[in-house]
Chain A
Amino acid sequence: MKLIFEKSVPGRIGFRLPTMEVEKIEYDFEDHLLRKEDAKLPEVHELEVVRHFDALERKNHSVDKGFYPLGSCTMKYNPMVNEEIAGFDGFKFLHPYQEEYTIQGALELMYNLQNYLADVTGMDAVSLQPAAGAHGEFAGMLVIKKYLEANGFKNKTKVIVPDSAHGTNPASAVMAGFEIVEIKSNKTGRVDMEEYKKAMTEDVAAIMLTNPNTLGLFEEDIKEIAAIAHANNALLYYDGANLNAIMGKVRPGDNGFDVVHLNLHKTFSTPHGMGGPGSGPIGVKERLKDFLPKPVVNKNDEGFYFDYDVKNSIGRTRSFYGNFAVLVKTYAYILTMGKDGLKKASELAVLNANYLRANLKDFMTIAYPEICKHEFVVDGSFLKEYGIKTLDFAKRMLDYGIHPSTVYFPLIVKEAMMIEPTETESKEVLDEVIEIFKKIIEEAKENPDTLKNAPYTTPIRRLDDLKANKDLKVKYDV
């Protein structure tokens, strides 16, 4: 398909400003600062733009089009009404530097949301500032760093991360100035307590955990893990990517976690928008409250206000206050579900995952075949005997109109397929998916080439990744 630039015809316009009613004046800046050549942007009429992007949109898979079981991404349904609400003039047309008395509604929403999220996670204070999960991790790890320094622990330079962790965990901890100590998981896919105890030396500042972890398994020893960390003056960091398994069932704060981040674009149903915007609020226990990014939203006799008086704040992690529009959608979701609904959502997410697992185990290898939480991992190496890799299986799924699971992650399972159905999928959809999986395995047995050459029905076939990286072309030469 042509690029919008290739559809350009000199002279065409897609937008016209009203005639300017003020007089043009002479430029009073140096001639070399005046643009000599206009930016070569497309010259297209409005309908061309409409059709161009319509054609692009139809090339994408999306939650609205079909099943999207990406593990650790929580591709649940994104409610329509939340988009409409975030689009109210009284929310979208707010300037960040308006007087506080003119944005009391927005501040009230943020204040309540801070409290709701604190309550769901069992934390005492929340900052809504981080723009995404990884951004929250960075902010959270800085909070830990500053807190430890303020309490006289200058030598705590290391952070323990299990080998099943998301890549962002070590990357964020490094950005916050820590070194990484990776520990191996045990045979049941959980933190190996012996390894953990060995790794927990005096210079350890924190352990970052996802719970349930990326295998979909709950860390049963969490209380002991916490006790060991706390005895060593280290803190527990909770990666909220998998919170969708435990809302209203388990509160990380009750299990000993000191800092959490949430992914509102996963657990709280805000759309992923092709990769963002997300929102990654962090929650902390009372003793860490004074270290949060500033400002936080607070309330006094006069109303709601941005509180910049955060004593030991790590400072700002971005401009303004966070991805406000995403916060509005989250708020709408929480109010829609209510206290019991959030719990039910998690229960059904776990039910759906286990139902799928219990069915697939008859003909696929489950890496850790036991009750899981909201996701589970298939070990695709059983396909080897047909000369098939997980990648081939995933690509064949595309032909059946379903999105592949997360593949080759977590790293500790060979040929991993990480499957997270989410609670918004009905039993019929799951039953259909089970049949599709069966069929693909039949195909693998009978004619492996069907899988090796898949997909066939998608807008393009498999890509030449080598060429993409070798003959690097990252922009069109206009």
Chain B
Amino acid sequence: MLDYRFLPHTEKEVNEMLQKIGVEKINDLYADVPQIFEGELNIPETESEMDLRRDLYELSETNKNICDNGIFRGAGIYQHYIPSAVYQIASKRGFLTAYTPYQAEVSQGTLQMMFEFQTMICEITGMEVANSSMYDGATATAEAALMAARVTKKDKTIIAESVHPEYIETTKTYLEPQNLTLQTTEIDKVTGRINLESLKEKIDENTNSVIVGYPNFFGIIEDLKSIREIISEKIMLIVVVNPIALGLLEAPGNLGADIVVGEGQPLGSYPSLGGPGFGLFASKKKYIRNMPGRIIGETVDEEGKRAFAMVLQTREQHIRRGKATSNICSNQAFNALLATIHTSLLGKRGFKQVALQNYHKAHYLADKLMKTEKFEPVFEGPFFNEFVLKSKISIDEINKKLLEEKYFGPLNLKRFFKEMDNHALFCATELNRKEDIDFLVSFLEALI
């Protein structure tokens, strides 16, 4: 037994324990099992920590990472600077190795953090209430659509085709089994914004909500105000945000949003091949009883001392079972902690500065690329930190060459839209230095 450093039992102890239980051998504890597995698992032999660390380090180094290489690609996951303090604080084991805060007396650290997190999400989005996280931006979007159907009791959701394609697919997966309809609505090919005329035509008496990106998947800033103006009060406006953009853009809560969702990864989580980040989820207070997920509230203990607790648990599966607002149990609490620390450090000023740098750097990049005359503009609408250009030569070829220079280039939109071959979705964040941008531009100018 002592070959395993996580298993403390000596043979002597095992025997003592078996004796107390009143059986002879371990397998007697499995006497009620109809068929014990006698084979061998097809898994390697146990490995020492030394070998494990070395082997997995070598495996990790076979990947090309976006720290050693610069990156001009976003599309839902973004490389931002994460202050050193974020992970060093968050990795404290009282956070990492704690369970869901079911026992409030010994979970006040978790509960207060989540209350602060909810407050931050509300401040950033301009909404009245937020939950303590969903799995990711895609499932948060899907759950928002389900929530709109519950609130309005209507069965059609309209989603802009410019919402992240994987969010649309996920939402479809969630709505279908409930016999709810998901209808996509086109963008204006000139601006890249939602086509208001065709949206108007699609809205009918069965419509429960309209889902738009802010900015959308192509980086374009939707005009939420004019969208809100053409949809009636009874239809819910669901806005999928990049939280970083909200340092610059008006909060959706001030532009008529009913529910705001989004991917929280840009707030302190590493890209990690797309997960874990977290889904942010906020809404107007009047809908709170229809919200999915864990919500934390402030109260007092029996001595009147400030305390925090899980509230409205009757919405949740552990109480309501089949009638819960959602099946979600585990969420992404640790990533919510990362966001809370990250946002605390950025603070009021830093949060805005990051947004501004993203905006201006992306525009500097776009402007310089256009001046090379090797790219064609695709959309005229305003953008935040991502934009689409059409290339005269293959994006895949460009990216291959760029990687030799230690840069990941733009995303080829062909991946999601057949008709958009060689349409490149570029991204710049505060991490892309001017010299990197200048290099990228001159390299592409020479290449094309």
Q: Are A167 and B318 in contact (CB under 8 A)?
A: yes
Shortest Cβ distance from B35 into chain A, in angstroms?
A: 6
Interface pick from B66-74, B205-213, B371-379: B66-74
Q: Are B73 and A97 in contact (CB under 8 A)?
A: yes
Contacts A22-B434, A105-B61, A426-B9; A64 near B274 (Cβ below 8 A): no
- Mask of B4-42 contacts with A, CB within 8 angstroms, 1/0: 101111000110111011110010111111111100111
Q: Are A95 and B77 in contact (CB under 8 A)?
A: yes
Contacts A14-B344, A49-B344; A249 near B30 (Cβ below 8 A): yes
Q: Is there a chain A Cβ closer than 8 Å to B386's Cβ?
A: no
- Of the four ranges (under 10, 10 to 19, 20 to 34, 35 or more), the interface on chain B belongs to 35 or more
Q: Which residues of B contact A467 (CB under 8 A)?
A: 299-300
Q: Are A473 and B29 in contact (CB under 8 A)?
A: no
Q: Are B59 and A108 in contact (CB under 8 A)?
A: yes
Contacts A17-B354, A131-B275, A272-B98; A64 near B93 (Cβ below 8 A): yes
Q: Which residues of A contact B250 (CB under 8 A)?
A: 32-36
Q: 24 A-B Cβ contacts within 8 A?
A: A4-B116, A12-B347, A34-B250, A36-B254, A38-B348, A40-B123, A41-B123, A41-B344, A53-B92, A61-B103, A62-B97, A89-B67, A97-B73, A99-B403, A175-B177, A222-B34, A274-B337, A277-B275, A278-B330, A316-B166, A319-B164, A321-B274, A342-B43, A351-B9
- Mask of B45-61 contacts with A, CB within 8 angstroms, 1/0: 11101001101110111
Interface pick from B150-158, B196-204, B221-229: B221-229
Q: Which residues of B contact A43 (CB under 8 A)?
A: 347-349
Shortest Cβ distance from A43 into chain B, in angstroms?
A: 5
Q: Which residues of A contact B9 (CB under 8 A)?
A: 348, 351, 426-427
Interface pick from A194-202, A352-360, A441-449: A352-360
Q: Is there a chain A Cβ closer than 8 Å to B441's Cβ?
A: no
Q: Is there a chain A Cβ closer than 8 Å to B329's Cβ?
A: yes
Q: Which are the 9 A-B pairs with shortest beta-carbon distances?
A: A320-B274, A90-B60, A273-B334, A177-B177, A338-B46, A96-B274, A468-B299, A277-B276, A170-B322
Shortest Cβ distance from A152 into chain B, in angstroms?
A: 18
Task: Tell me the nearest residue of chain A to B28, going by C-beta.
Answer: A371
- Mask of A291-328 contacts with B, CB within 8 angstroms, 1/0: 00100000000000000000000111111111111101
Q: Is there a chain B Cβ closer than 8 Å to A363's Cβ?
A: no
Q: Is there a chain B Cβ closer than 8 Å to A73's Cβ?
A: yes
Considering only residues 61-118 of chain A, those with a C-beta below 8 Å from chain B are: 61-65, 68, 70, 73, 75-79, 81, 83-99, 102-106, 108-109, 115-116
Number of A-B contacts (CB under 8 A): 687
Q: Which residues of A contact B334 (CB under 8 A)?
A: 271, 273-274, 276-277
Shortest Cβ distance from A37 into chain B, in angstroms?
A: 8
Q: Which residues of B contact A403 (CB under 8 A)?
A: 99, 103, 106
Considering only residues 256-286 of chain B, those with a C-beta below 8 Å from chain A are: 263, 270-276, 278
Q: Is there a chain B Cβ closer than 8 Å to A231's Cβ?
A: no
Shortest Cβ distance from B435 into chain A, in angstroms?
A: 8
Task: Tell me the nearest residue of chain B to A79, going by C-beta.
Answer: B6
Q: Which residues of B contact A350 (CB under 8 A)?
A: 26, 29-30
- Mask of B174-199 contacts with A, CB within 8 angstroms, 1/0: 10111100000000000000000000
Q: Is there a chain B Cβ closer than 8 Å to A384's Cβ?
A: no
Task: Tell me the nearest residue of chain B to A334, going by C-beta.
Answer: B43
Contacts A58-B94, A78-B97, A115-B42; A475 near B63 (Cβ below 8 A): no
Q: Is there a chain B Cβ closer than 8 Å to A54's Cβ?
A: yes
Q: Are A314 and B347 in contact (CB under 8 A)?
A: no
Most chain A CB neighbours (cut-off 10 Å) among B93, B164, B271, B347: B347
Q: Is there a chain A Cβ closer than 8 Å to B391's Cβ?
A: no
Q: Which residues of B contact A471 (CB under 8 A)?
A: 299
Contacts A22-B434, A271-B97, A325-B270; A102 near B64 (Cβ below 8 A): yes
Q: Are B348 and A42 in contact (CB under 8 A)?
A: yes
Q: Are A35 and B273 in contact (CB under 8 A)?
A: no
Q: Are B57 and A276 in contact (CB under 8 A)?
A: no
Q: How far is the CA of A460 from the CA of B40 in the complex (A)?
A: 50
Task: Tell me the nearest residue of chain A to B434, going by C-beta.
Answer: A21
Q: Are B43 and A119 in contact (CB under 8 A)?
A: yes
Q: Are B105 and A39 in contact (CB under 8 A)?
A: no
Contacts A41-B344, A132-B328, A464-B302; A321 near B21 (Cβ below 8 A): no
Shortest Cβ distance from A303 into chain B, in angstroms?
A: 10
Which of B61, B271, B300 meets A95, CB within 8 Å? Answer: B271
Contacts A17-B353, A25-B360; A277 near B332 (Cβ below 8 A): yes
Q: Are B305 and A319 in contact (CB under 8 A)?
A: no
Q: How far is the CA of A249 from the CA of B38 in the complex (A)?
A: 8
Q: Are A272 and B97 in contact (CB under 8 A)?
A: yes
Q: Are A273 and B96 in contact (CB under 8 A)?
A: yes
Q: Are B251 and A35 in contact (CB under 8 A)?
A: yes
Q: Which residues of B contact A351 (CB under 8 A)?
A: 9, 14, 17-18, 21, 26, 29
Q: Are A316 and B53 in contact (CB under 8 A)?
A: no
Q: How far is the CA of A332 from the CA of B138 in the complex (A)?
A: 28
Considering only residues 331-348 of chain B, those with a C-beta below 8 Å from chain A are: 331-335, 337, 340-341, 343-348
In the complex, besides A42-B347, A354-B21, 20 extra interface pairs with C-beta distance below 8 angstroms are A35-B251, A40-B123, A50-B89, A60-B109, A88-B61, A95-B271, A98-B66, A98-B408, A99-B399, A132-B328, A277-B331, A318-B136, A318-B170, A348-B7, A424-B6, A426-B9, A427-B16, A461-B302, A474-B115, A474-B311
Considering only residues 114-170 of chain B, those with a C-beta below 8 Å from chain A are: 115-116, 118-120, 122-124, 128-130, 132-133, 135-139, 164, 166-167, 169-170
Q: Are B119 and A478 in contact (CB under 8 A)?
A: yes
Q: How far is the CA of A20 from the CA of B169 in the complex (A)?
A: 38
Q: Which residues of B contact A85 (CB under 8 A)?
A: 52-53, 56-57, 60
